[in-house]
Structure 1
Amino acid sequence: METRSEADLTILYGSQTGNAEFLAYNISEAAAKAGLETELLTLNDALQENRLSWGRLLIVSSTHDNGHMPDNADAFWRWLQSCDGGQYSGLPYAVLAIGDSMYDDFCKAGQDFDGRLAELGAVPMLKRIDCDVDFDMTSGSWVKKLLASIPETAPWSPEGAVLVDAATASRFASAPEPWRTARLIGSRELTSRGSDRRVLHYDLGLPDDFAYLPGDSVEILPRNSEPLVQEWVRAFPSANTIRLGDEEVPFADALRERLELRIPHIGLVNALITRIASSEAADRIRDLLDSGDRSDIDAWLWGRDVLDVVQELGLDRDGAQPVIDAMRPLQPRSYSIASGPAVSEAGLSLTVASVAYRRDGRSHRGAGTSFLESLPNDAEIALRRVVAHEFRLPSDEAPLIMIGPGVGVAPFIGFLHELEARRSPNETWLFFGDRQRSTDWLYESEMRRWQESGVLTRLDLAFSRDRDEKHYVQHEILTNAEELRSWIDRGAHIYICGDKNRMAHDVERALVDALAPDGAEAGRGEAILDSLRAAGRYAKDVY
């Protein structure tokens, strides 16, 4: 039976990694402080629970992968597309979209919700906002305007209720990927002695009914390291228990398994800085936030964890709860799968670069990498599949051009394992690079074996520190531009995996230049790349 919402504002969210969920909860709390009653649930839950009549609606949604709905919003979206025109005529609504401008379909999920609600007759209370990864900083004033407009906006009073029976709701539903328990079989180091970093290969045993495809990733739910937990315990010696929502939790347990200690965010800094009086450090950080200069803010945050921020602000050692209230839940860590199910349906492999460094007198380690490195063989690991949409092997015998420096090579190791096991005839071309050939050639023996067997048709390498001038995979792409165009003419698919901040941009720029023949008109390379993308022949997995 349909339940008519009596809340001042219904907030429905779609979230893949937790960012949109975190923001939706914060908006709900801000609304409560403003004296507004809210209803908060996922978009899919609204459909399943038949809560589809609202006085005023706010949708907060991220975009998953290249333009796809988050897993907990896809059923609602399919249902919304099936609705009759005018079904939500007069409904006051707003959309806050979260995305990453490194992706081509930036904020597409939020844009789709906005467009469809308008088609159904809903009326925007505020123009949609599209937020980049700095949503903590850019969404604040928009949210304040929205909440201020609520008392002045009459709630929707439809002539008839919006009803969906259970059979209809189930027709649109798709089960989200569940958390499963894997088992660590073993690990080996891929870098050699003399390398200035560690990269490890992990083999995991899977439950019988866990299935994946080449190109998929997995999320792993880590635990924060014990040394970091104890640093927090020493920083707040009087904290024995803390509140997480309505739950009282031992402080150390919350630190270990519930809270994101590694990655600070702008919202946390903003929340904490309001609690302290003027000081040299606090005033400097206030000025930085007020400047709105994202590059300077990112530079200040780079390498810091949450405890670094807390200590730099000089927060009261007896005041753990306000800090906890501003923190995010512990986030899963995502890793590309470096194996193929045709080789072994009972297991999968991961390629993981260890994160370890010192800053301001403290040792820092990555949450996911330190967790994995701490596990003995046969230890249990909570993980779930992240389904790839475009990042898939061709369905035919088309050639593959794979560009994956560093640990970005992981999914291509999976591709090549799969092609070998299937005895597929596809031609393959791998661009791989790292720091030094002698110490950092990941999967060297596998690549040599695949070259000898013909599974890997062509291999081009770029080791940046083996030359007087830095040499990267994008330089190899430009050097081989004519051959690359020949492969494209024969129907090749292009794949990129790796660092989104620098590598992906530089590689895409090189592809644009390489795809345009000498003397081609301006924009020819971009047009070719756009056509490949539209044809499903250009895919990125960047992070």
Structure 2
Amino acid sequence: MRLIGNAAAGLSLAALAALLWLWQPAFVWRMPGADRIAVAVAACLLWLSLCVWARRGRGRTPPESASGTVAVVYASQTGSAERLANQTVSSLEAGGIGARLIHLRGLDSAALPRSATEAVLFVVSTTGEGEPPDDARAFVEALRRRPAAVRDLRYGLLSLGDRSYAQYCGFGREFESLLRTGGATPLFETVEVDNGDATAIERWHDALAVLGTEALPPLVPEPFLRMRLEARRLLNPGSPGGPVFHLSLAPEMGTVPDWQAGDIAEIRLPGSAGLIREYSLASVPADARLELLVRQQRHADGYGVGSAWLTLDCPLGGPVDVRVRRNSAFHAPEGSRPMLLIGNGTGIAGLRAHLKARAAAKLGGAWLIFGERQSRHDFHFREEIEDWQRTGVIERVDLAFSRDTAQCIYVQQRIVESGAALDDFVHRGAAIYVCGSLEGMAPGVDAALRQVLGSPLLESLAADGRYRRDVY
């Protein structure tokens, strides 16, 4: 349509020029009469009308800002919102719209009015029962205290959630309420996404047309890679808990995808209309394979779909479709900062990747607090952990095996018991990483850390990226 409009305008002006040329055979100056003045005025009016008509055919123009860009702001707990925010930036830029990616923690609510003429696209996830991602809490608290900080913003909101939780998209809905209360203006209706639903993501893409482009390229997801199940080993025979398997995936051809400790493997289950299961990576790129810990899930009506296929049905050497999701919210701290690693059950997978990375970098200063059922059956990767202790990668290990004593002991109790040493460790600069079950362990550990360190310090650590969680 834009090309047709421009061509029509050009042809009309060419015809007018030819008419005037024929009417004035010689370029001799003479005082124009009233009729010539009228023709000149008519030509100017025609030109302005054509400009307005062509301009309307282009749709809305992108909101301008000092930087000439659209801000795409994300808050992500496990990397899903971060990935969609990156895909949104790529689509906008391919469509001719400047875009920049910002983490929500990088915004200052007091400075937001300076971006009043800039479109802001928020991509946020909900963690737990309606909570914001850990490192977005400080911004949200500031916005609660000063909602008018967003009064001039024009925004779009993509809210990620999971309907299996009671507070579906709870944080996204609260965040939208804060924006509206503060006087921000929505560019379009908020898009909610249930567990990565592709149809909802398409609605988000379509809504972005309000930014002024007619041919915005689609959001391009990362492709799945075909790998094969190289090894599968039961780690806890005789355990009172569910069987835990250590899986190794090797590439069918070429090399494994690049990743960092803290990233997540997405496994596409066969014959399930695109059903995906997510697992913390337990290996590092130097291993040249993806390693996972999968607990076999058993329910009243049978096995869990994902764990049954990976631990029972997929044959050794069989194909597995996998892709790695970047999860910068659980990446290692920069430099040689000490790490307090806390986890339970299969959560040792994500902690193991960090320990392997620190061992390869010849870094010490790690403290591991790990819990499971019985030390005899459930001390996953015991030999590696003991070796890391001998070589100085780990300076301290505290274990909590709940079935080894008459009174159950959990990792949160180990935290409280070690309160003074833990407080000193954090004040030496340590970062806290928690990996494991969302129910029971994660809130218990959070409460124990608040008891030992105090809530203000823990919130400050989260805002600074020194308190990070990969919980599920």
TM-score class normalised by the smaller sequence: 0.5 to 0.7
Q: Which position in structure 2 is the counterpart of 1:368?
A: 306
Q: Deviations over 1:394-445 (max 9, x none)?
A: 2211111000111111111111122222222x31110011111111111112
Q: Deviations over 1:115-165 (max 9, x none)?
A: 99974557x9xx99998843669999x9xxxxxxx9xxxxxxxxxx95459
Unaligned runs of 5+ in 2: 4-57, 63-72, 93-97, 102-113, 177-188, 190-209
User: Kindly, what percent of the aligned residue pairs are identical?
Assistant: 28
Whether the 8 Å CA contact 2:342–2:370 is kept in 1: the answer is yes
Q: Which position in structure 2 is the counterpart of 1:405?
A: 344
- Superposed counterparts of 1:127-138, under 5 Å: 133-134=165-166
- What is the identity, as a one-letter code, of the residue corresponding to 2:334? S
Give the Cα separation in 2 of the matches to 1:350 and 1:137: 28
Q: Which position in structure 2 is the counterpart of 1:534?
A: 463
- Superposed counterparts of 1:136-215, under 5 Å: 163=212, 176-206=221-251, 207-208=254-255, 210-215=257-262
Q: What secondary structure, in the 3-state scheme, does the structure 2 residue paired with 1:183 have?
A: strand
Post-superposition shift, 1:492? 0.5
Give the Cα separation in 2 of the matches to 1:117 and 1:75: 25
Give the Cα separation in 1 of the matches to 2:123 and 2:333: 35
Q: Which moved more, 1:180-189 or 1:128-137?
A: 128-137
- Superposed counterparts of 1:21-100, under 5 Å: 64-65=76-77, 69-76=81-88, 79=98, 86=117, 99-100=126-127
Post-superposition shift, 1:187? 1.2
Post-superposition shift, 1:176? 3.9
Give the Cα separation in 2 of the matches to 1:457 and 1:355: 34
Note closer, same or farther for the CA distance 1:130–1:408 as it changes in structure 2 (3 Å cut): closer
Q: Which position in structure 1 is the counterpart of 2:279?
A: 335
Give the Cα separation in 2 of the matches to 1:504 and 1:2: 55
Q: What secondary structure, in the 3-state scheme, does the structure 2 residue paired with 1:352 have?
A: strand
Q: Which position in structure 1 is the counterpart of 2:323?
A: 384
Q: Which position in structure 1 is the counterpart of 2:293?
A: 351
Q: Deviations over 1:81-103 (max 9, x none)?
A: 69985578xxxx99997623344
- What is the identity, as a one-letter code, of the residue corresponding to 2:396? R
Whether the 8 Å CA contact 2:61–2:213 is kept in 1: the answer is no
Whether the 8 Å CA contact 1:399–1:492 is kept in 2: the answer is yes
Give the Cα separation in 2 of the matches to 1:73 and 1:2: 29
Note closer, same or farther for the CA distance 1:97–1:335 as it changes in structure 2 (3 Å cut): closer
Matched, 1:512 2:450: yes
Q: Deviations over 1:146-203 (max 9, x none)?
A: xxxx9xxxxxxxxxx954599xx89xx9964321112111011111324342001011
Unaligned runs of 5+ in 1: 4-49, 55-60, 143-149, 151-160, 224-255, 259-329, 516-524
Q: What secondary structure, in the 3-state scheme, does the structure 2 residue paired with 1:371 have?
A: helix
Q: Which position in structure 1 is the counterpart of 2:183?
A: none
- Superposed counterparts of 1:238-387, under 5 Å: 256-258=271-273, 330-342=274-286, 344=287, 346-357=288-299, 359=300, 362=301, 364-373=302-311, 374-387=313-326
Q: What secondary structure, in the 3-state scheme, does the structure 1 residue paired with 2:329 have?
A: coil
Matched, 1:414 2:353: yes
Matched, 1:435 2:373: yes
Note closer, same or farther for the CA distance 1:471–1:388 as it changes in structure 2 (3 Å cut): same
Q: Which position in structure 1 is the counterpart of 2:437?
A: 499
Whether the 8 Å CA contact 1:403–1:497 is kept in 2: the answer is yes
Give the Cα separation in 2 of the matches to 1:486 and 1:87: 44
Whether the 8 Å CA contact 1:499–1:542 is kept in 2: the answer is yes
Note closer, same or farther for the CA distance 1:194–1:51 as it changes in structure 2 (3 Å cut): farther
Q: What secondary structure, in the 3-state scheme, does the structure 2 residue paired with 1:72 have?
A: helix
Q: What secondary structure, in the 3-state scheme, does the structure 2 residue paired with 1:69 have?
A: helix
Whether the 8 Å CA contact 1:2–1:52 is kept in 2: the answer is no
Q: What secondary structure, in the 3-state scheme, does the structure 1 residue paired with 2:442 have?
A: helix
Whether the 8 Å CA contact 2:76–2:82 is kept in 1: the answer is yes
Post-superposition shift, 1:341? 1.7
Whether the 8 Å CA contact 1:98–1:135 is kept in 2: the answer is no
Q: What secondary structure, in the 3-state scheme, does the structure 2 residue paired with 1:470 have?
A: coil
Q: Deviations over 1:364-399 (max 9, x none)?
A: 211111111211222111111111112122221111
Q: Which position in structure 1 is the counterpart of 2:409?
A: 471
Note closer, same or farther for the CA distance 1:63–1:2 as it changes in structure 2 (3 Å cut): farther
TM-score with structure 2 length normalisation?
Answer: 0.62
- What is the identity, as a one-letter code, of the residue corresponding to 1:540? R
Q: Which position in structure 2 is the counterpart of 1:281?
A: none
Give the Cα separation in 1 of the matches to 2:442 and 2:424: 22
Give the Cα separation in 1 of the matches to 2:373 and 2:396: 20
Q: What secondary structure, in the 3-state scheme, does the structure 2 residue paired with 1:197 have?
A: coil
Note closer, same or farther for the CA distance 1:62–1:375 as it changes in structure 2 (3 Å cut): farther
Matched, 1:485 2:423: yes
Q: Deviations over 1:482-508 (max 9, x none)?
A: 111111111111000111122111101
Bigger Rg, structure 1 or 2? 2
TM-score with structure 1 length normalisation?
Answer: 0.54
Note closer, same or farther for the CA distance 1:466–1:217 as it changes in structure 2 (3 Å cut): same
Q: What secondary structure, in the 3-state scheme, does the structure 1 residue paired with 2:356 have?
A: helix
Note closer, same or farther for the CA distance 1:489–1:51 as it changes in structure 2 (3 Å cut): farther
Q: What secondary structure, in the 3-state scheme, does the structure 1 residue paired with 2:346 have?
A: helix
Give the Cα separation in 2 of the matches to 1:492 and 1:96: 30
Note closer, same or farther for the CA distance 1:165–1:457 as it changes in structure 2 (3 Å cut): farther
Give the Cα separation in 2 of the matches to 1:87 and 1:423: 46
Whether the 8 Å CA contact 1:339–1:417 is kept in 2: the answer is yes
Give the Cα separation in 1 of the matches to 2:211 and 2:228: 46
